[in-house]
Amino acid sequence: MRRGLLVGGTLRVGGSITRSHAGPRTPAPGSVTSTAMTCTEFVARFTDYEDGIASAADVGAMEEHLGRCVSCRRYKAVVERGAALLRSLPVPELREDFAPRLQNRLYSIQESLPPEPNASRTPAVAVFGVAVLLTVVAWSPFLLGSPPVVELPPIVVDRAPEPPPARSANLQERPLELRSAPELDLGLWDDTRLYEYSALSRRYDGSARTRQVGFVPNR
């Protein structure tokens, strides 16, 4: 036998139920609409009641409502029975390779992690100590006393400085003096060919353009 279920303040009897959350919740025939508590209020406060966190006044009102309302008793029974069924469902079993796989993953994480901070603490302290020591040594002359004073003999000037020789104002007028270095130039540039620059587009339009260059001394 199928009995009705109060859902959202509406009594439904068996079959598939299509319900709109947004729709108005109107108590159906069979449900209670006393001034004490309506079925809609009961459903709205049901979670608090079921989980034992409703106030004493609410608990009293809801139990009084349950005593009179078949639909809400049915609703409570369905929720409780459904939850009990849910808890009785078989728990899925872990795969056999779950633990070994997890161990391998944790092992690889352990290997990839950087060394622990404790391991590098001693060298860090040593480095810091050496740095402090070097600093102290470097500053020790200033820390221990006044810096040493070096006395130099005084410079005595006994005559006025001579003026520099007069230079030609116009450097262009001075003849260029070419100093020959025959031992270096002799034969250095003989038979030397220099490739002349040309644009790439004109590179292959004729034979290679070269010219003889060089410093050809008068022989």
Which is nearer to other proteins, 47 or 140 (by Cβ)? 47
List, in sequence order, every residue forming a beta bridge with 10; answer none if it has no partner.
Answer: 7
107 lies in the binding site for other proteins (CB under 8 A): yes
Nearer to other proteins by C-beta: 90 or 147?
Answer: 90
Q: What type of residue sits at position 98?
A: F
- Nearer residue to other proteins within complex by CB, 7 or 66: 7
CB within 8 Å of 212: residues ≥ 6 apart? 191, 192, 193
List 212's β-bridge partners, or say none. 193
- The sign one gets for the Cα dihedral 124, 128, 131, 137 is negative
By beta-carbon proximity to other proteins, the closer residue of 104 and 210 is 104
Q: Among residues 96, 99, 79, which one has the least CA distance to residue 87?
A: 79
Considering only 36, 53, 126, 138, the residue that binds other proteins (CB under 8 A) is 53
Q: Does 47 bind other proteins (CB under 8 A)?
A: yes
**Amino acid, single-letter form, for residue 197:** Y
For other proteins, the closer of residues 68 and 81 by Cβ is 81
Contact 4, 30 (CB under 8 A): yes
85 binds other proteins (CB under 8 A): yes
Indicate whether 105 belongs to the interface with other proteins (CB under 8 A): yes
| Separation of CA 200 from chain center | 51
Residue ranges binding other proteins (CB under 8 A)? 1-3, 5, 7-8, 12, 14-17, 19, 21, 43-44, 46-48, 50-51, 53, 75, 77-79, 81-83, 85-89, 91-92, 94-95, 98-107, 109-110, 113, 116, 118
